Structure 1
């Protein structure tokens, strides 16, 4: 089978597509015939050797996937051959950019019928990340106000939709070119950080979701109410300047239970997938160049495999 591999850490040119043996599922695992697989910023961290969870090379890149169960390993009863599923491969976030992949059965779910394989493969990590930021670590409640830093990004776009569905007031902090996009997703208030300082433009908020980090994250502490929460997926630095607020950093944990929650929202039409550039597996190196700044469409980059 064909797979996107690295044999050493480095720039996008270390990525190669090569023939490797088809994997065999162990206990608790599924062998998936992959129809589509996502490419995200964490894949670049793995490729560069900066991930804290991935194994050392040689390895197959990719975590998000959608496809069909080819074989269920021992002790798996929730899924069977022929089931169409989506999710991620494993806690090491590798192995999905291939024609066949092994996935932990407790990290996938049945594919929502309203979504194509490409749409489903775009969603798992970023949608679950947004869910966890809001409801598990941010403890968001109806009528609270959430400010989203980087709201036009892939995680931010899901966070806006999830927050709106839950009855929160949403403030999106974006660039000028992204204003209409986040308004279309439902954001009630939009701050253009290129023309104004958001800490001077918004009322105090209950929750800040940070997908940006750096100085922007630091300044956001000033808009939190006492007792508020800042949830970040990019920075674990404590907020020592505000002892009356709480800061949280976490790594996304994709599970069947969380995916099923997301699936119900997709199936009801309350969530819309955000697919960006679509490429064949042979162009996976191009996808990694896009992660590094090369032009691409808004939304999640997805590789199309077996179809």
Structure 2
């Protein structure tokens, strides 16, 4: 079971031993989500208890809710991973955080436990909140920004002067990838819908291409790296865009290894690894004005089911990250 489920105990200093949280007792559509009163957890070794001020909602939350997670997810569970808030208490062996610290990050490697008034987080997966961001904006950052960072620099190993093609440049991950690559002196070609081309250019893309057009064909064999944030046919087309020796990096699905070998490129899928060190780098970029965030819809914690209906396309959603604001 997740840390939150294992360690249900009163938090030190709290008058109320209970909290509200969004729980899943069976996998399925958004209506399986239940807003329930449960015991408030207590941090164990290497953990902190966070008084949650905001929660980021991502597609992986929907996959977990629907039982489609790439990781085992024993039931029942509390949904959510991205969060920002205030450290309420720390567990044994935690030295780098103290009560009252404003932090952001993710809960744990299972990506659960954040849709709640209080949440347990691994001390290795959080960092001090960017001072220039409020809680809602900070909660929108962790998973998507670190995914972009890892795709570009740790897996793609991109450097100044190289060419990257970013599929889905207007999405939550893509928007950070465009900004980070631009700041690093990398030539950025980004795909997006026609309505988002101006937005992608404003983020720093040297060239913005409507994903429905064939304009990418002029880049055949030119890209050093393709960042795939879309999958499907878009991923299949990406092999032709790479030079021999290039890399196809997907945060969506495992690329075809036979195609990779035929084109003389590397191709791989990765799962994001959020760490305090990576978050600190992202926070520094944000506080120094080198990267901007975009929050789409802000709902209250009690409206988390509505947020998931937006994820599923049942309800319309604006561009940007969905955030749940947690009342104090």
Is the shorter-chain TM-score for this pair beyond 0.5, marking a shared fold? yes
Matched, 1:301 2:322: yes
Q: In 2, distance between residues paired with 1:223 and 1:242?
A: 12
1:228-277 deviations in Å (ceiling 9; x for gaps): 00100111133422421001211000000100110110110101012110
Aligned equivalent of 2:83: 65
Q: Is the 8 A contact 2:255 2:268 kept in 1?
A: no
Query: 1:37: which partner in 2?
Result: 55
Of 264, 273, 276 in structure 2, the residue corresponding to residue 256 of structure 1 is 276
What is the alpha-carbon distance in structure 2 between the residues aligned to residue 61 and residue 13 of structure 1? 13
Deviation at 1:192, TM superposition (A): 1.0
Q: Aligned residues, how many?
A: 307
Alpha-carbon distance in 1 for matches of 2:221, 2:296: 33
Residues 12-51 of structure 1 show CA distances to partners (whole Å, capped at 9, x for unaligned) of: 0011111111111000000000000011000000000011
**1:284-299 matched pairs, under 5 angstroms:** 284-293=304-313, 294-299=315-320
Contact 1:46 1:54 in 2 (8 A): no
Greater alpha carbon shift after TM alignment, 199-208 vs 126-135: 199-208
Aligned match of 2:237: 219
Contact 2:221–2:240 (CA<8 Å) still a contact in 1? no
Taking the aligned partners of 1:222 and 1:189, their CA distance within structure 2 comes to 18
Unaligned runs of 5+ in 2: 1-18
Q: What is aligned with 1:17?
A: 35
TM-score by length of structure 2 reads 0.91
Structure 1 Cα separation of the partners of residues 193 and 325 of structure 2 = 30
Aligned match of 1:266: 286
Q: CA deviation at 1:197?
A: 4.9
The residue aligned with 2:107 is 89
TM-score normalised by structure 1 residue count: 0.98
Distance 2:248 2:20 in 1: 42
For residues 1-307 of structure 1, what are the structure 2 equivalents within 5 Å?
1-200=19-218, 204-243=222-261, 244-293=264-313, 294-307=315-328
Change (3 A) 1:102 1:242: closer
Deviates more, 1:48-57 or 1:14-23: 48-57
In the TM superposition, residue 203 of structure 1 has moved relative to its aligned partner by 6.4
Runs of 5+ unmatched residues, structure 1: none
C-alpha separation in 2, matches of 1:63 and 1:54:
15
1:241 is paired with a residue whose SS is helix
Q: Conserved in 2, the CA contact under 8 Å of 1:34 and 1:65? A: yes
Q: Give the match for residue 15 of structure 2.
A: none
SS of match in other structure, 1:118: helix
- Which aligned runs of 4 or more in structure 1 are off by greater than 6 angstroms? none
Alpha-carbon distance between aligned partners in 2 of 1:36 and 1:135, rounded to the nearest angstrom? 28
* Deviation (angstroms), 1:297: 1.4
In structure 2, distance between residues paired with 1:141 and 1:9: 42
- CA contact 1:33–1:306 (8 Å) conserved in 2: no
Q: How far apart are 1:175 and its partner, in Å? A: 1.2
